[in-house]
Amino acid sequence: MSAKTLYKVTLLSLVTIFSCQEKKEESQEAKKIWNYNSEIVINDFESDTVSVNTIKDINATSKVISLSENNKVLKVAIRGDEKESGVKFSTNTPWKLDKNKKYNLVFDAKSENGSSSFINVVVTNSKNQSTRRIVSVQPNEFKSYYFELTTQKEDIESGLRDTPPAWETEAVHMKINGLLSIIDFSEIKSIQIYRSQGYKNKTVLLDNIRIVESPERDPNFLKGIVDKFGQNAKVDFPIKVSSDEELKNIADAELKTLAEYTLMPDRSQYGGWKNGPKLKATGYFRKEKINGKWALVDPEGYLFFSIGLANVRMANSTTYTGIDYTDEKLKHRDPEDVTPEDSKGIVAVPKEIMKTAHVTNKLRNDMFVELPAVDGPLADHYSYRKESHFGPIEHGQTYSFYSSNLERRYGEQYPKSYVDKWLQVTEDRMRNWGFTSFGNWIDPAFYHRNKLPFFANGWIIGDFQKVYSGLDYWGPMPDPFDPEFERRAKKSIAVVAEEVKNNPWCIGVFIDNERSWGATSAKKYHYGLVLDGLSKDMTSYLKRHSIKILRKKYAKITDLNTAWNTKITSWKALEAGIDYKSKEEYSEEMIADLSVLLEAFATKYFQVIHDALEKKMPNHMYLGCRFAVWGVTPEVRKSAAKFVDVFSYNYYKEGIGKKYWKFLEEVDMPTLIGEYHMGAPDSGLLHSGLVHAVDQDDRAKMWEDYANSVIDNPYLVGCHWFQYLDSPLTGRAHDGENYNVGFVSATDIPYPSMIKKAKEINSGLYTRRFGNTDHK
């Protein structure tokens, strides 16, 4: 029996599986542990007795190859620019696990051709419930990767988007994509390993796919993980600091470098292409198509491409401490407020109220090695959140390590002088690194410093009627036919207009973000908004408008029934509300009518906002609502095209391919990427983000691919990395995101690989984008 064959029929503990032990030890434990039945081999690509029934290629090509005489693996050629590309392992008889035990899916993998491969792994149980985790497979050598099938209560109560490894191992911990949840995986029917809308072709080798018992957790794996700087106290990483003096020395060295900066030589004062053609100057930013490529044009008439960093502000830098106060006044919210909770900066808490502090989440409070004294010099960085979007903590005390580290770096010559220094340093960095603008969600304090073009933003929040699409990740949609929605839109935009004050440095305005428009993946989601409207009674403004449209088309209810293949007894019955959201089949005529209703809904939404902007901010472009890739339909795009100046999408993938983005040719309007990012595990953070790299160098290379894919697309006029600073180690208070997404760390130290790559990309930006443009 070969060494590998012996391995295939042997269960080791995770510690044994994840480390390299001698084959002699495996042999000694083989019989005992195998008989204990604590491992299921899904596939080893050698044995004839593996438990998998089917291996299905999904827009990919896989085959078993021999790496040596006794070593076979599955080689998967993954295609870029596919919605999904990979392999699916499934069984007619579910793989059964002991409900009383805790398990991991483990596999060995290697990415070929010297480059990493970002993959998704989805495990589905016999009830069609699934969990997805993500990881970047490393090149050059096989590593073990593990997927925690058993989510424990403490994982969720931690308030983290994902937790650190709970036991020592050299294996790579796959991170959750979405939210942690407890799912019964005692019966598993499929495992899918794939890429989602990848950019380049990749090849991955897979081996030893197995399900194993989890080892015992370290009971203190969540305790004392955050040091006084907000860094990972238990992990070393390249830019980690160990003292106030070291942090200040790093800051002083950077300040000397930034003092010598100048604008890149081919830039106008607004960041446009000074060496390019001179177009009509209007004194404000505008759009124009030139030689088949869409472009923005700066106020002086120079071609402009918007590349920059979003979320340059303190608002999302705070994290929950596990402490709350007894004073209820803190929880009061002004109903006329136009700023969502997650867009507020540091909220000062009166000292008297801080004396009422008490621990409400000990698990979370124990994560911090040291929190500043509430009457100490760094107490100003405590804040309060009235509400959360996700997580076990609904409200409570928060702390901004990022803000406190700014005070450590720059000192305080007068109250909050470090904030003024931060504004200056941030602008100097942006210009030194070659960025042409900020992205969305910057501190309004930047608006009138006139150093870098910016985008203003507003939200429409309020007590208007809501509508659900069925894909309501960030909450329901507003009913745009409700007069209260229009009132709130005007109020919010009036506030934005007052902040901007007609400043020509403002490129345009985003209103709202990643609204739940629905998706084309299923009819119930595609037409979810209007189906929800039809289920309501006539107190719904959307329902009234929908009935008006239907009555205009159909003279009698019998005519509608014939078209829809329904048995509605009367118009009165339809007006009372009928729920078609679970309907499995819709007639073509019903789909056509639902499409009309959906377009009317979206048209009203965009028209209300457009008209308010046109009145208050006529010189600034309307940049839409930043569609999420999971939340947009053709009807919504068609409606938006009537009113927006520039489309905007948030697209967290590896680059801009051709298949998904083919609609740009049909729409033929300038389009901007509002959010994207990559992260890596060598930052000390507990999660790399929505797209993973192997390390910071790999992260920079992946960013280069993404940025260039945007620059090379004739319809795209910009891309904004989300975000300027890393998420807090213990997650932003809004929803627990604890991602390595920043160009700077929690200590405000730039990531060297990212800065080096920024200068490379941005120095060649305009010649790459417009180099073949004739001068006029």
Which CATH number do you get for residue 58? Answer: 2.60.120.430
Residue 313 lies in a domain: no
Residue 445 lies in a domain: no
Residue 548 lies in a domain: yes
Is the pLDDT at 34 greater than 60? The verdict is: no
Helices 696-711 and 752-763 meet at what angle, rounded to 10? 20
Instruction: Please list, in sequence order, all residues whose beta carbon lies within 8 angstroms of the beta carbon of residue 319, skipping any fewer than 6 positions away.
Output: 230, 398, 399, 400, 401, 728, 729, 730, 731, 732, 733
Residue 40 lies in a domain: yes
| Residue 731 pLDDT level (bands cut at 50, 70, 90) | very high
* Sheet containing 716-722, strands listed edge to edge, beginning at the edge strand earlier in sequence: 437-438, 306-310, 716-722, 671-675, 647-650, 627-628
> Among candidates 311, 231, 325, which has minimal Cα distance to 734?
311
In whole angstroms, give the CA distance from residue 640 to residue 604: 10
Q: Which domain holds residue 558?
A: 453-650
Q: Which of 174, 197, 213 is the last residue of a domain?
A: 213
**Mean pLDDT (whole number) for 738-748:** 98
| Residue 260 pLDDT level (bands cut at 50, 70, 90) | confident
Q: Which of 389-398, 674-683, 763-772 ranks highest by mean pLDDT?
A: 674-683
| Residue 341 pLDDT level (bands cut at 50, 70, 90) | confident
In whole angstroms, give the CA distance from residue 431 to residue 264: 8
Burial class (CB in 10 A: 0-12, 13-18, 19+), 82: buried
Q: What is the pTM of this model?
A: 0.93
State what percent of residues in the chain have pLDDT above 90: 85
**What is the structure's pLDDT at 480?**
98
> Nearest 5°: phi and psi at 189?
-110, -20
pLDDT digits (tens, 9 = 90+) for 617-646: 999 999 999 999 888 999 999 999 999 999
Residue 116 lies in a domain: yes
Q: How many domains does the chain have?
A: 2
Residue 238 lies in a domain: no
| Residue 773 pLDDT level (bands cut at 50, 70, 90) | low
Which residue type occupies 230?
Answer: G
CB 445 within 8 A of CB 426: no
In whole angstroms, give the CA distance from residue 504 to residue 299: 7
Is the pLDDT at 404 greater than 90? The verdict is: yes
pLDDT digits (tens, 9 = 90+) for 534-583: 999 999 999 999 999 999 999 999 999 999 999 999 999 999 999 999 99
Which residue type occupies 324?
Answer: D
Q: Which of 650, 679, 705 is the last residue of a domain?
A: 650
* CA angle (645 as vertex; 485, 430 as ends), nearest 5: 100
State what percent of residues in the chain have pLDDT above 70: 94
In whole angstroms, give the CA distance from residue 98 to residue 143: 27
**Half-sphere exposure of 448 toward its Cβ, with a 13 Å CA cutoff?**
7
Peptide bond into 269 cis (omega under 30): no
**What is the structure's pLDDT at 6?**
31
Mean pLDDT of the chain: 92
**Mean pLDDT (whole number) for 219-225:** 97
Is the pLDDT at 747 greater than 90? The verdict is: yes
| Residue 701 pLDDT level (bands cut at 50, 70, 90) | very high
Is the pLDDT at 456 greater than 50? The verdict is: yes
In whole angstroms, give the CA distance from residue 321 to residue 360: 9
In CATH, what number is assigned to the domain containing residue 605? 3.20.20.80
Is the pLDDT at 772 greater than 90? The verdict is: no
Is the pLDDT at 27 greater than 60? The verdict is: no
pLDDT digits (tens, 9 = 90+) for 158-184: 999 999 999 998 899 999 999 999 999
In whole angstroms, give the CA distance from residue 734 to residue 656: 29
> Among candidates 324, 323, 346, which has minimal Cα distance to 407?
346
Is the pLDDT at 521 greater than 80? The verdict is: yes
Q: Which of 162, 193, 213 is the last residue of a domain?
A: 213
**What is the structure's pLDDT at 455?**
98
β-pair type (187-196, 175-176): unpaired
**What is the structure's pLDDT at 670?**
98
Lowest mean pLDDT among 21-35, 272-286, 372-386, 448-462: 21-35
β-pair type (716-722, 671-675): parallel
Residue 241 lies in a domain: no
In whole angstroms, give the CA distance from residue 489 to residue 135: 41
CB 353 within 8 A of CB 420: no
**What is the structure's pLDDT at 70?**
82
**Mean pLDDT (whole number) for 178-202:** 95
Is the pLDDT at 3 greater than 80? The verdict is: no
> Among candidates 313, 319, 287, which has minimal Cα distance to 301?
287
Q: Which of 25-29, 242-246, 657-661 ranks highest by mean pLDDT?
A: 242-246
Question: What is the DSSP annotation of 726-776?
Answer: PPPTT--TTT---B---SB-TT--B-HHHHHHHHHHHHTHHHHHHTTPPP-
Residue 360 lies in a domain: no
CB 196 within 8 A of CB 653: yes
**What is the structure's pLDDT at 50?**
65
